[in-house]
């Protein structure tokens, strides 16, 4: 074979070898990258939860920048139970998952305003997309102003979770009301909500919910209880206990508890799961993790959904509830709306229906505080879906519908306080659906309650500085 021919064959071999290498290399990089959400669902969700938005709401031990995430996914942290996926998932797909997580972090970053301080001089001024309001201080000096009612003469009844009930006059003078029940002001317990009878002007009944103490075998146990009484002078008199949620437990959280009368005069009571989600919310033979409906004197309406159903408590109206911190009636439709804390993520806004199961803990949009899933599903037949839910958790508190003409652009909206991020969440509602939301009163404080006063003004109660404010349109 001639040297020329040998060289030609060699060059041809090199060409084909080089061409094959390019084709192979090109094929690798032209490979369609799998949907990162699908990868997360298949490979990550069993440990980190169904919703990426809930997973990212956490403290990051190893950093949350893109390079940090790629390293964590690729090499893992086996001592902490995180496997190394570098030999299982192609690198470009690891990069795609890291991008997904970085993008999802924006759901947390939207609340970065909570780290800022209100720099307004004098009375604070807050601007929304439609209204500018100022705040007038109605009362201060509270630990946690929880419940709020305005009387016909313009004065206020305000509960402090520390165990005090105050009457605040138009002159802003606080008078402590004596004779209320002893409360267990520990953890999330204490003196909670307050409601006036629909015919208060005629009968004077005032309703209080609180954490009630019981000592059994030397152990302090508590329950969510409701009493009614009348205020005469500075005394709570004629006290009658009309409800207690059984059984008593040794936990000190998730009491609920809001009180709302509907248009028919029934009293709705929200009760949390007391931190025992595996036991109470789905069991109608217990009263925790439920919404209850009773008559004004504590007797049971004959048309309650569990009346005559074996050992089920007849006061139960709805169940599968976690930690209900807000409840209100739509003054137009008469429907009862409720907000509750999820775990990490999955705070909910619900319309409460007779006999309905709201799913906790079988379904949830959140994960546990330790980062592990509580459940692998967020939907199930026979269980209600929330009207809307919040990820990350905003820790919704008091809830009210805007009525009257002082805030025309907000009329019919739902206002929900945020304990976690120090603002009020405005929900625009149409046909019982939340169609848009806006964060207002940024950095006003840790909002415990939002209420419409009888004078047509909105009132906001905040912890730290422990005050109640009136919102005045400017």
Q: Does residue 10 sit in the same domain as residue 77? A: no
How far, in Å, CA of 159 to CA of 147, rounded?
5
Q: Considering its fold, how many domains does the chain have in total?
A: 2
How far, in Å, CA of 394 to CA of 389, rounded?
10
The H or E element spanning position 20 is: helix 3-30
- CB-CB contact of 271 with 244 (8 Å): no
Q: What local confidence, expressed as pLDDT, does residue 295 receive? A: 98
Provide the domain limits for residue 97: 32-109
User: From residue 327, how far is each of 177, 188, 350, 415 by CA, in Å?
Assistant: 25, 17, 9, 11
Q: Does residue 15 sit in the same domain as residue 60? A: no
How far, in Å, CA of 112 to CA of 359, rounded?
31
User: From residue 436, how far is each of 80, 279, 418 by CA, in Å?
Assistant: 40, 36, 17
- CB-CB contact of 397 with 390 (8 Å): no
Structure tokens at 266: 């029934």
Q: What local confidence, expressed as pLDDT, does residue 10 receive? A: 42
Beta-bridged to residue 158, according to DSSP, are: 148, 166
Q: What local confidence, expressed as pLDDT, does residue 163 receive? A: 96
Q: What local confidence, expressed as pLDDT, does residue 450 receive? A: 98
Give SS3 for 10. helix
For residue 266, is it within any domain? no
Q: What local confidence, expressed as pLDDT, does residue 370 receive? A: 82
How far, in Å, CA of 453 to CA of 424, rounded?
17
User: From residue 308, how far is each of 352, 357, 371 by CA, in Å?
Assistant: 21, 18, 41
CATH at 101: 1.10.760.10
- 183: Cβ contacts below 8 Å, ≥ 6 apart: 163, 189, 190, 191, 210, 211, 212, 213
Supply φ then ψ for residue 309, to 5 degrees.
-100, 75
- CB-CB contact of 137 with 174 (8 Å): no
Q: What local confidence, expressed as pLDDT, does residue 3 receive? A: 45
Average pLDDT, consecutive stretches of 10 residues, N- to C-terminus, the chain (474 residues): 43 38 42 82 88 89 91 88 89 91 91 68 76 94 96 96 95 94 95 98 98 94 98 96 97 95 98 96 98 98 98 98 97 97 95 98 93 91 98 96 96 97 96 97 95 97 93 95
Q: What local confidence, expressed as pLDDT, does residue 27 receive? A: 44
Please report which residue ranges of 105-229 form alpha helices under DSSP H: 106-109, 200-203
For residue 77, is it within any domain? yes
pTM metric for this prediction: 0.90
Q: Does residue 103 sit in the same domain as residue 77? A: yes
Give SS3 for 160. strand
How far, in Å, CA of 460 to CA of 39, rounded?
44
Q: Does residue 53 sit in the same domain as residue 83? A: yes
Q: What local confidence, expressed as pLDDT, does residue 118 receive? A: 52
Q: Does residue 37 sit in the same domain as residue 105? A: yes
Q: What local confidence, expressed as pLDDT, does residue 366 receive? A: 94
Q: What local confidence, expressed as pLDDT, does residue 20 receive? A: 38
For residue 63, is it within any domain? yes
- Domain final position from 109, 133, 154: 109
- Domain final position from 82, 109, 136: 109
Q: What single string gives the DSSP state of each residue in 295-313?
A: -TTS---TT-TTTTSTTS-
CA dihedral 231, 236, 242, 247 (to 10 degrees): 140
Q: Does residue 36 sit in the same domain as residue 78? A: yes
| Residues forming the active site | 254
For residue 219, is it within any domain? no
- 279: Cβ contacts below 8 Å, ≥ 6 apart: 286
Q: What local confidence, expressed as pLDDT, does residue 116 receive? A: 67
How far, in Å, CA of 345 to CA of 50, rounded?
11
Closest among 308, 299, 283 to 360, alpha carbons compared: 283
For residue 69, is it within any domain? yes
Q: What local confidence, expressed as pLDDT, does residue 30 receive? A: 47
Q: What local confidence, expressed as pLDDT, does residue 117 receive? A: 58
- CB-CB contact of 165 with 185 (8 Å): no
- Domain final position from 109, 144, 159: 109
For residue 6, is it within any domain? yes
């Amino acid at each position: 074979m001639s040297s020329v021919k040998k060289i030609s064959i060699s060059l041809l071999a090199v060409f084909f070898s080089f061409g094959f290498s390019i084709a192979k290399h090109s094929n690798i990089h032209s490979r369609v990258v799998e949907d990162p959400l699908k990868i997360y669902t298949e490979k990550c969700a069993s440990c980190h939860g169904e919703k990426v938005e809930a997973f990212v709401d956490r403290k990051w031990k190893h950093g949350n920048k893109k390079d940090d995430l790629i390293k964590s996914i690729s090499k893992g942290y086996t001592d902490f139970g995180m496997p190394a996926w570098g030999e299982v998932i192609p690198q470009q797909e690891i990069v795609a998952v890291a991008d997904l997580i970085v993008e999802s972090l924006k759901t947390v970053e939207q609340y970065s305003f909570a780290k800022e301080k209100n720099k307004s001089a004098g009375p604070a001024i807050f601007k929304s997309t439609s209204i500018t309001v100022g705040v007038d201080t109605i009362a201060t000096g509270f630990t946690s102003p929880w419940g709020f009612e305005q009387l016909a003469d313009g004065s206020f009844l305000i509960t402090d979770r520390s165990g005090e009930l105050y009457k605040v006059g138009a002159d802003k003078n606080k008078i402590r009301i004596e004779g209320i029940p002893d409360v267990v002001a520990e953890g999330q317990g204490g003196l909670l909500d307050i409601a006036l009878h629909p015919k208060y002007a005629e009968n004077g009944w005032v309703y209080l919910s609180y954490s009630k103490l019981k000592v059994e075998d030397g152990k302090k146990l508590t329950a969510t209880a409701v009493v009614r009484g009348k205020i005469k002078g500075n005394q709570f008199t004629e006290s009658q206990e009309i409800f207690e949620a059984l059984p008593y437990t040794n936990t000190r959280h998730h009491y609920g508890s809001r009180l709302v009368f509907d248009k028919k005069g029934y009293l709705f009571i929200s009760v949390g799961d007391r931190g025992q989600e595996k036991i109470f919310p789905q069991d109608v033979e217990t009263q925790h993790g439920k919404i209850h409906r009773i008559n004004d004197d504590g007797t049971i309406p004959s048309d309650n959904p569990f009346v005559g159903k074996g050992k089920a408590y007849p006061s139960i109206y709805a169940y599968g509830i976690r930690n209900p911190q807000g409840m209100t009636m739509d003054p137009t439709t008469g429907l009862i709306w409720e907000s509750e804390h999820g775990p990490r993520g999955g705070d909910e806004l619900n319309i409460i229906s007779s006999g309905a199961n709201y799913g906790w803990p079988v379904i949830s949009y959140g994960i546990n505080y330790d980062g592990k899933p509580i459940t692998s599903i967020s939907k199930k037949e026979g269980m209600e879906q929330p009207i809307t839910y919040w990820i990350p958790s905003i820790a919704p508190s008091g809830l009210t519908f805007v009525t009257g003409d002082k805030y025309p652009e907000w009329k019919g909206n739902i206002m929900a306080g945020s304990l976690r991020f120090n603002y009020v969440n405005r929900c625009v509602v149409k046909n019982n659906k939340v169609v848009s939301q806006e964060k207002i009163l940024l950095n006003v404080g840790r909002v415990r309650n939002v209420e419409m006063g009888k004078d047509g003004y909105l009132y906001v109660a905040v912890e730290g500085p422990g005050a109640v404010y009136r919102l005045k349109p400017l």
